[in-house]
Amino acid sequence: MPRIQRYKKNTTGLQYKCNNCQKADEREQGEIKELRQKTRQSLYVHKARGFDSNTGDTTRYLMPPWGPMQDFALGRLGLTWFNWCAESICIGSRQTTSMVLYKVWKTLEADELFHTPQLTPVSDEQKRRAALQLIRYHQYKFYTEGTANNNYKRKTRTILTLNEAIAGVNMNLSVKFALGVSLFSNTILSLGTERHHHFSRAAWNGELLSAVALTEVGHGSNTKQLRTTATYDPSSQQFVINTPDFQAAKCWIGNLGKTCTYALVFAQLITVDGSHGLHAFVVPIRDPTTFLPYPGLILGDIGDKAGLNGIDNGFIMFQNYRIPRENLLNRTSDVTAEGDYETSFSNPEQQLGAALENLSAGRVGIMQESVATLASAITIAIRYSAVRRQFGPDPDGEELPIIEYEMQQWRLFPYVAAACALRIFIESFIDQYLECVEMSHSGAKLAHLDVQDMVKQDPAKATAHPWPNPNKACW
Ligand SMILES: Cc1cc2nc3c(=O)[nH]c(=O)nc-3n(C[C@H](O)[C@H](O)[C@H](O)COP(=O)(O)OP(=O)(O)OC[C@H]3O[C@@H](n4cnc5c(N)ncnc54)[C@H](O)[C@@H]3O)c2cc1C
């Protein structure tokens, strides 16, 4: 028996024969014929309708494109086969998500500003391009006024879907938008009050770009030990922000190096009664007309990184820098004009949790961005392996695509599996995360929350499963 069998189409294009023994692959003939007919119909629909973001029908996007991958997508050919539809659903997630992904991808694909340059530009140019891309991205209005006004769960879900869509094609833009608009705006809405909402609106409208300044040189993970201070001065009704030494300089902060005009700064709040722990403040950083930093700030870009050089990660130190009392995000804790500290928490530890809760959404975004990168990379590698041909059973005959070789499969397939598995994990993780945050907003205790509890609370969850059943034909 030859190690590699290859079934080749006969002239009708519907029968497959083994290259070596000339025996027809009887088992699959009917199935292949049916699949081909269905796919042709779908492709016809695809071509006839073109891209129409107004229709809710996404099935046409889930059909394999016609081309060299077609035989692999349709079923077994030689040793290698893919369930194209199931794979694309795993990577593209649910159908509604897929629709958003394809809408964003199609739009950005048609815009030259988003094309990858042939040569990698120097990092300053990458930062300039990312800033221009952000402006253009705002103009496309993938999100609507309604998105910003939705409840926390729906809004965050939309933001994360958009984040995933951009991350698949342009990581710089995805991170820039996530930090400067969505994370900033979400934190304002959940930690701030009515008086801060104009900041959120301005960010969504592209009038303001922010940074989220938490990490310091001396502390990253252990946020409780952060040492930037915001001391309340009752005489001027202002907070005075200070960086005691270089270890307390905010560092690594995305968008801070060159482009943001505001930053969400996390600092230890101090009144005459002492320190009250980490709180978030909206801090003006640059003049929006000149982009020069305000007096009292020492800031700059941290320079070239191993990657993601379109993001201007920066550092900042505060020297008696004053901001109005109203810039404290005060939904859970506040300082009166006279300087009295008021909080809704009996346990000061809860204040830290409340201050940082929203930043977890940013961490979820990082998982999405990482998996989107893996999915893009493995898609490129698989496509290349399906069209690149080397050697074959007959030295003078047709060569085989290299994906038919076990060594190539051994190298690539684990990453296809990883991309699918991680994608599925993130999707269910996001559901549970959003549920937890919503429960915490409503004051519910999370101590005993586990998956079983969540299933019990919502029986629909026990049966609902958004993923394709691998035992069923996906057509
Ligand atoms: C590209 C990039 C962009 C960033 N952007 C921002 C930004 O916009 N805003 C911002 O505020 N910060 C930003 N950061 C900083 C980032 O949030 C921190 O790097 C992160 O929180 C980790 O902190 P650290 O680097 O100080 O690591 P450390 O806290 O020093 O940790 C170092 C290692 O020790 C491990 N470790 C630490 N404590 C424990 C423990 N208790 N148990 C087990 N392991 C432990 C960590 O997992 C890690 O592997 C950015 C960082 C990078 C690399």
- pLDDT, tens digit (0-9, with 9 covering 90-100), for 300-333: 999 999 999 999 999 999 999 999 999 999 998 9
Pocket of ligand 1 (CB under 6 A): 179, 212-215, 220-221, 252-254, 308, 313
Give all domains of the chain, ordered by start, each with its CATH number: 83-208+358-475 (no CATH), 210-357 (2.40.110.10)
Going from the Cα of 73 to the center of ligand 1, the distance in angstroms, rounded, reads: 41
Atom number of ligand 1 nearest to Cα 308: 1
Question: Is the CB of residue 328 less than 8 Å from the CB of residue 334?
Answer: yes
Atom number of ligand 1 nearest to Cα 211: 8
Phi, psi of 202 (to 5 degrees): -60, -40
Q: Tokens at residue 69, please?
A: 């991958």
What order do you get walking across the sheet with 250-253 strand by strand? 250-253, 314-318, 297-301
- What pLDDT is attached to residue 326? 97
Helix 406-441 to helix 84-92 angle, to the nearest 10 degrees? 40
**Matching residue, tokens 């069998």:** 5
Question: In one letter, which amino acid is 442?
Answer: S
Question: Is the CB of residue 244 less than 8 Å from the CB of residue 227?
Answer: yes
DSSP 8-state code for residue 288? T
Q: Positive or negative CA dihedral for 20, 26, 28, 30?
A: positive
Name the residue with the closest Cα to ligand 1, atom 3. 252
ipTM above 0.95, yes or no: yes
Spell out the per-residue pLDDT of the chain, length 475, in tens: 333 334 444 444 444 444 455 555 554 555 555 555 554 444 433 333 333 444 444 444 444 445 555 555 544 344 344 554 444 544 444 556 667 777 888 899 899 999 988 999 999 999 999 999 999 999 998 877 677 677 778 888 888 888 888 887 889 999 999 999 989 988 998 899 999 999 999 998 999 999 999 999 999 999 999 999 999 999 999 999 999 999 999 999 999 999 999 999 999 999 999 999 999 999 999 999 999 999 999 999 999 999 999 999 999 999 999 999 999 999 989 999 999 999 988 887 787 887 787 788 888 888 988 988 898 899 889 889 988 999 988 888 889 999 989 999 999 999 999 998 998 898 889 888 888 877 777 765 544 444 444 444 454 444 443 444 444 333 2
Going from the Cα of 359 to the center of ligand 1, the distance in angstroms, rounded, reads: 13
| Residue-wise burial string across 169-201, b where 16 or more C-beta atoms lie within 10 A, e elsewhere | bbbbbbbbbbbbbbbbbbbbbbbbeeebeebbe
The rounded distance, in Å, linking the Cα atoms of 386 and 416 is 14
